[in-house]
Structure 1
């Protein structure tokens, strides 16, 4: 399918995404040429694209919002689209709606558990929550990580509710319930995931792909973990929320023994110990 395609083409199962920069007229024409190429490929292979499922999502505030055609029909332009379970909108500030949808779905599953399961013991409720509910609150969270307190609290309320369902913990404070259950808050779990991903990009399996994502701080300061990253400066708040930016401060605050871990397994153990000491 990608033969002759000029722009970026992403494929997963039966989903195909064509992405290109349109800051010039040539960029717009390249996308249209690629769409024409895809139509010819489909015709040659006796296949068709479902036109009703083909959409155009214009990203960025300054996007010229050009129109495109798939064969003889114009493709509908939309302000937001769900991509592999994550809602993406044209301004890339989708976390608030993603949080609402994730919390809604997770709460429905909690309702089902409450109606269907007679036992409220830790041994029953905790595995059900971990396997059936929490994944909806964390799916692809590296991409849509919530930054507003209102959104973070919306997700945290689901875990608060789940821990209150466990017999004997109903009247304890949320932090005490987490401690007794051996859980982190969802906010701390997101931070943990960010730091594990950073370790993989800096020292682990994705080291080759990580070159250029982070920049070492080559200052003469001796305090710290010995692998300090440089904190960039950005004018727009949305840039500060990207994974490669938001993780830097937390990485620089890790103890030396965690950063120098010889493997991801050892790093996770030392990271959990460090995070356990953070209130």
Structure 2
């Protein structure tokens, strides 16, 4: 049985992976796929892709493109979720900041530099017409639990994270939800190390075929809304809204989309150069 290590965030987007693992779909093909949850998100996965600790990652598009440009020996092999990620903008329940524009010049909690929460703070700042050089400040909080602690003790002022993942914290009064910032591109891609692509291409194709078969029919699984609601402690109506907004993909990201991400990152001075498509994707 060939061991393959894969990482992703422990969120509802990745429930199709859980289903295929639970059903033993990879083992039937001689692959021991080992899933690792990354509570710290993109930044943690990038580090382990670089070191070879994991072979594959289900990762934010903008985060992995930025890191490939900065030397990560990996490539995007497919889009996983083609719909945008809706980043909710959150403050502490007793915060003085009541609107997104109130946040100008305040401190954004981010999981780490180079993470999705870091990069999307720039996108949000540009959307609001702020000066990204002077109106953004950052406090590293590592993960969602760190954000709760950071916002409640005044270490940071706002936190951007996937809207439906943080909804239970809004419902219980921990956070205020004051706005959103959707990604202007497909949100999650599957990335693989160059070594895995080069030496284990057959296993890569098998893994993609299995997960693609599941995501193609995912919305039609009987009771999937109730299952996700129970597993991720989310209200049924929120899960149904999320399912209606989310579209999985079985194809790779296009050259045009890669250019759009790079142009946005370059305009925000988050990358120093743009790479051709073949250096970012297979």
State the TM bucket, normalised to the shorter chain: under 0.3
Select the structure with the greater relative contact order (CA < 8 A; seq sep ≥ 6): 2
Query: What's the TM-score, normalizing by structure 2?
Result: 0.24
The structure carrying a bigger helix percent of its residues is 1
The structure carrying a bigger strand percent of its residues is 2
Work out which of the two has the higher radius of gyration on C-alpha atoms and give 1 or 2.
Answer: 1
